[in-house]
A and B are shown apart, each in its own frame.
Chain A
């Protein structure tokens, strides 16, 4: 069986857009890479994002360029009301963004743990709303490595890290993407280096001790001709696991493919294409069992789009939905979403607002003032 998608585009009415973080001359971005944590009954959310100073400076030849530097903000906001309002939250202990800040932590935590082989990660109970798990990556010991940290107090403090083994690849880039199988095993899905040295294949790792120790389980997706990166995966009622994977195909191809596993992630197969254009994509299971896929659209009209499956197994998907289409450029997206207790969805992403156009004589393709937004809607 292969995934089928309906044609057509529809606008979603009643979307509420909330600015989570934004300052002129500050680039804020990539919640997909940094995560949206969900705690308690599901209405407590924490979004993580990168942030850099981003001022326009003049080159000696008179042209404009963006100057970049670290920004002291924690890159972390907490909402206690399902994304309606957001408060500043402290740094993650492994965050490197310390220039100009009073926070004494940084990548030293990762370096020290790696250097001394210390693992003080504590297991979590996935049914406990106070518990959570962060899967990410950092440059440690001169190599990009994936790691896992756990929390028992809704992300206020963390223990760990546990490093994922490299298993012969030059680097491993995990994003916050993990799930718990019905049998209690934890899975996470780092993107790893291909033999060409480029980011481009997805592995599956397993933990049998609730997040402390991790081992290679399988190759989810790999291709000789294009890059498969940045997976998001969910459990389905039948026991299948469905994953959305970003495709980066030379020269301009950017779309989402679906991969599935019928044996708990031991083996994977190609299930089909989710769209013509748009990635990375976050997947969610709605309360009625349908699936929701959200991704950025980097073609006019620039914005955030979605599809909803017509069945609980993700074989048939409806038309493309526009959550917002008012972006100023292709530099936006990277959404992470959460299903709230009332069945609505809060998705966080970065966005290029039209009030911050790129200087006419600036030759840099990306960069500029970008803000973090949350969009709340009822699927």
Chain B
């Protein structure tokens, strides 16, 4: 394979524990404050024995004693400290059983620079649905979940990652994934707008008759168009990345490009110089973390930058990248090492950060 050179400034472990599964930052979300001097990332953390298939099963690790935990860096990503719990699964289940969580039709406040919003898949019975979490203090505390009427319970099953995009009119676009109408997942766009923050379905991205489309990752281009990276998967297969574009604020969508052979899931970031950055794991030997750049709004893409290679299994990647004001890119991702002393279908799953620049 031909790769472009990436200048790796630092490679750090954000959080690692031989008795825990830590990862999935794409789903949790990442935020930047003060030009990237302060960073916050949310990742899944759950006790893990690494002694059975069930201990690393994607369904099981999101249940039981799992929590979406945050870590904070105050030096641009070089060092990280454990921070608040965004969402503890057992607490939510207990509140649901007690009837303490009601679906909301409206009443959410649009975030500002201090108020953060996260979206996560929340287990309700045997299904998942989209839940919204809000923090009034840069992630110091979190409130939620809010199960939003229409976004969650009226769908057969829905998934959510923190994929939220503001519009110029002050409203928010929330990108979730629904199985409506034929049980094959595809992204749905919800609009949160108006004085009472009314939430409504705005549009669906195009579907495929056989392959699921998940993990929407949206950005806005300088010319106002919205570009979304979506992971398309055939059953049981690692996914690849499709790019969709909207020139009418998310009401209609057209397909632009397939970016890669394998990439699952992929995070899209609009850089300050106008280029787009796509970061993703390749869950196929020799297990890689790579990135690509687009200079034309996602219509074409560079060869891949090889950020890391040689993981221990397919359970890695789930990347999110933040651009600091000084141009350094901070990619937060899940990894596992082939030569780890803890081995079950790969080494222990841990959260890592890579500080780098494309050459």
Question: A residues touching B (Cβ–Cβ < 8 Å)?
Answer: 165-168, 183-185, 203, 206-209, 212-213, 215-217, 219, 263-267
Contacts and interface: CB of A to CB of B under 8 A. Distances in A.
11 contacts: A167-B236, A167-B237, A168-B235, A185-B1, A185-B261, A208-B261, A208-B284, A209-B284, A215-B238, A264-B261, A266-B240
Contacts of A215: 237-238, 262, 284
A244 B118 CA distance: 49
A208 B236 contact: no
B262 A206 contact: yes
Contact of B240 (A168, A208, A217): A217
A212 B285 CA distance: 9
A305 B258 CA distance: 37
Interface in B231-264: 234-238, 240, 258, 260-262
B106 to A, nearest CB: 40
Contacts of A213: 284-285
Contact of B286 (A168, A185, A209, A264): A209
Given A183-B2, A219-B210, A267 B258 contact: yes
B174 interface: no
A91 to B, nearest CB: 30
B351 interface: no
Contacts of A168: 210, 234-236
Nearest to B262: A215
B235 A167 contact: yes
A194 to B, nearest CB: 10
B282 interface: yes
Given A215-B262, A263-B258, A267-B258, A208 B282 contact: yes
Contact of B262 (A183, A184, A203, A208): A208
Interface in B197-211: 210
Contact of A165 (B1, B236, B240, B262): B236
Given A185-B261, A206-B261, A266-B261, A216 B285 contact: no
Nearest to A222: B210
Interface in B261-278: 261-262
Given A213-B284, A216-B237, A265-B261, 18 more contacts: A165-B237, A166-B236, A167-B234, A167-B235, A168-B210, A168-B234, A207-B284, A208-B261, A208-B262, A208-B282, A213-B285, A215-B237, A215-B238, A215-B262, A216-B234, A217-B261, A263-B258, A266-B261
A interface secondary structure, majority: loop
Contacts of A184: 1
Contact of A208 (B234, B258, B285): B285
A217 B210 CA distance: 13
Tell me the interface secondary structure of chain B in the complex: loop
Contacts of B261: 185, 206, 208, 217, 264-266
Nearest to A203: B234
Contacts of B286: 208-209
A183 B1 contact: yes
A166 B237 CA distance: 9
A265 B262 CA distance: 12
A183 B286 CA distance: 15
Contacts of A209: 284-286
A215 B283 CA distance: 10
B258 to A, nearest CB: 5
Interface string B177-200: 000000000000000000000000
A354 to B, nearest CB: 47
A97 B237 CA distance: 33
A139 to B, nearest CB: 20
Nearest to B211: A219
Contacts of A183: 1-2
Interface in B86-136: none
Contacts of A208: 1, 261-262, 282, 284-286
Nearest to B282: A208
Nearest to B283: A215
B168 to A, nearest CB: 34
Nearest to B264: A215
A93 B178 CA distance: 47
Nearest to B288: A208
Interface string B222-237: 0000000000001111
- Most-contacted residue by chain B among A183, A216, A217 (CB, 10 A): A216
A219 B238 CA distance: 14
Q: Which of A168, A207, A266 has the most CB of B within 10 A?
A: A266
A212 B237 CA distance: 16
Nearest to A187: B261
Interface in B41-64: none
Nearest to A206: B261
A263 B300 CA distance: 11
A264 B261 CA distance: 8
Contacts of A267: 258
Contacts of A207: 284
A266 B240 CA distance: 9
Contacts of A165: 236-237
A248 B238 CA distance: 31
A10 B258 CA distance: 43
A326 B285 CA distance: 50
A219 B258 CA distance: 13
A225 to B, nearest CB: 15
Contacts of A167: 234-237
A68 to B, nearest CB: 37
A201 to B, nearest CB: 10
Given A165-B236, A168-B234, A213-B285, A266 B1 contact: no
Contacts of B258: 263, 266-267
A352 to B, nearest CB: 39
A219 B234 CA distance: 9
Contacts of A263: 258
Contacts of B2: 183
Contacts of A217: 240, 261-262
Contacts of B238: 215-216
A219 B232 CA distance: 12
Nearest to B261: A206
B195 to A, nearest CB: 45
A283 to B, nearest CB: 22
Nearest to B241: A266
Contacts of B237: 165, 167, 215-216
Per CB-CB distance, the 5 closest pairs between chain A and chain B, nearest first, are A168-B235, A216-B237, A209-B285, A216-B234, A167-B234
A219 B260 CA distance: 15
Contacts of B260: 266
